[in-house]
Chain A
């Protein structure tokens, strides 16, 4: 089973800053199967990015994804107040198995 490790666990930043979140896979994975979600307290996760770099419907262009092999990143070019949340990466693997990273919490500094 592929394990996704996200880093850092928590980030304290200010609105307007640029941030890059990391998701590392325990072995090389297909970039077609890597997605990112945003989750705010008391809400369900919201799809942000799929296929490593494609933005989901209605996701602002300040969100971007990149990566390949074992290393993937989610970048927010300029943090808005509503972007402070927990972010999860997710992968679809062999034998029909979906795994999530443990999450990175983005908090206001």
Chain B
């Protein structure tokens, strides 16, 4: 059974860059069948898709975040990562990584999520 686990700093200062990593276990990130996504949820609010990466490095981002987001993949470590630059308090959220079947357009496996707070 595939498992995803987010890791990274829980506190980031305004204007700095948020960096998170998702480690995938129980399956290979290089399987051509899946997209690897980041989704976030501000406290008490709904879900927002950030973007995804294919193992080849192809990425797609939410247009509202595109100028600040970079998603990358490290196939040797079975990991993918998120960088969000120039953060503000509005970027405070629980960040989830999630797997998507490349032919299905929904998210079937999720990490437990990690809270990132933007504060000085």
A30-79, CB < 8 A from B: 32-33, 35, 37, 43-47, 50, 56
Are A100's CB and B113's CB within 8 A? Answer: no
- Point out the residues of chain B lying under 8 angstroms from A102, CB to CB: 46
Central interface residue in A33, A46, A96, A98, by most chain B CB within 10 Å: A98
A28 interface residue (CB < 8 Å to B)? no
- Chain B: number of interface residues, binned into ranges: 10 to 19
Task: Pick from A35, A43, A100, A103: contact of B49, CB below 8 A.
Answer: A100
- Chain A: number of interface residues, binned into ranges: 20 to 34
**What CA separation (Å) do A99 and B106 show in the bound complex?**
11
Are B46's CB and A45's CB within 8 A? Answer: no
Residues of B in contact with A (beta carbons under 8 Å apart): 37, 46-49, 60, 62-63, 96, 98, 104-108, 110-113
Residues of A in contact with B (beta carbons under 8 Å apart): 32-33, 35, 37, 43-47, 50, 56, 88, 90, 92, 96-103
